[in-house]
Amino acid sequence: MRALADQAEAEAAEAEALAAAARARARAIQLRREAELAEAKQQAEKKAVAEVPAEAEPDATASVETEVPDAPPEAQADATETADDAETGETEEPVAEAESDASADAAQPARRRRRVSGRLRRPSWSTLAASLAILVILGALAGSGYMIKEHHDAVQQRQRAAEFVAAARQGVVTLTSLDFNNAKQGVQRILENSTGSFKDDFLKMADDFTKVVEQSKVVSQGSVQTAAVELDSMTRDSAVVLVASTSEVTNAAGAKQDPRNYRLIVTVARDGGQLKISKVEFVP
């Protein structure tokens, strides 16, 4: 900014110098015109004196000398007016040009200073503080929205996992709880809690399975110790559940046998709004 101000002052000084030079030129022209008029007047007087006869009387000479000056004032006035007009015409043009140049030169730095000051104007601290506050608020809102969404997704995921685990528990308990006295009802419960390929396969062997249960003369009561969902496999409509189950077997005489432990990989799928077993794998 200081450099621009110095440049403007230098340009203004240059404009003033140009104007002073123009005035000096006008003054020199005026002085030259006055000198030329004075010289013309002297030559006219000398010429008038030379034309007077030598033998003329003193009175005639005096009259001539007095008459000669009477005529030149008009010519002098005309010459003066002409010279003044010429000088004015010649002087006004340089002065006007110099003044216009000086005005233009003085206006250009002012415009340049305005442009530079407009470009270099810094925002106030209040503007910066308000902008920073807005950015902080927007960041906080975005972070809050992201956290709310993540929390909502996590809650939904836990709810779905709990639903799949409950369906797997129910299916395994139904599958491992059989009574030879009610074998057909037990098989029917298994079919009602199954879907997909498991239901199709079990339906084909349902009669044979019923006969085996009836002939075994045993009662088994299943329970689930633990179950967990494989989160990588879970979707909205299906999931793979790992189940650890135990079945207590009692024969017709009432004697209890050793509990039987099972580890199963159960696939649960949604069927008409209800979660059912679609696949069962026994893990050794």
Q: What is the domain partition of the chain in residue ranges?
A: 2-121, 161-283
For the stretch 206-247, pLDDT in tens is: 999 999 989 988 899 999 999 999 989 999 999 999 999 999
How far apart CA 82 and CA 78 sit, in angstroms, is 6
Q: Residue 2's pLDDT band (boundaries 50, 70, 90)?
A: low
Q: Which CATH superfamily is domain 161-283 in?
A: VirB8 protein (3.10.450.230)
Q: Under a CB-based contact definition with an 8 Å cutoff, are residues 125 and 195 in contact?
A: no
pLDDT score recorded for residue 74: 45
Query: What is the identity of the amino acid at 51?
Result: E
Cβ pair 205, 186 in contact under 8 A: no
The one-letter amino acid code at 108 reads: Q
Q: Taking residues 53-71, report their average pLDDT.
A: 40
Q: Name the residue with higher pLDDT: 270 or 4.
A: 270
- pTM to 2 decimals? 0.51
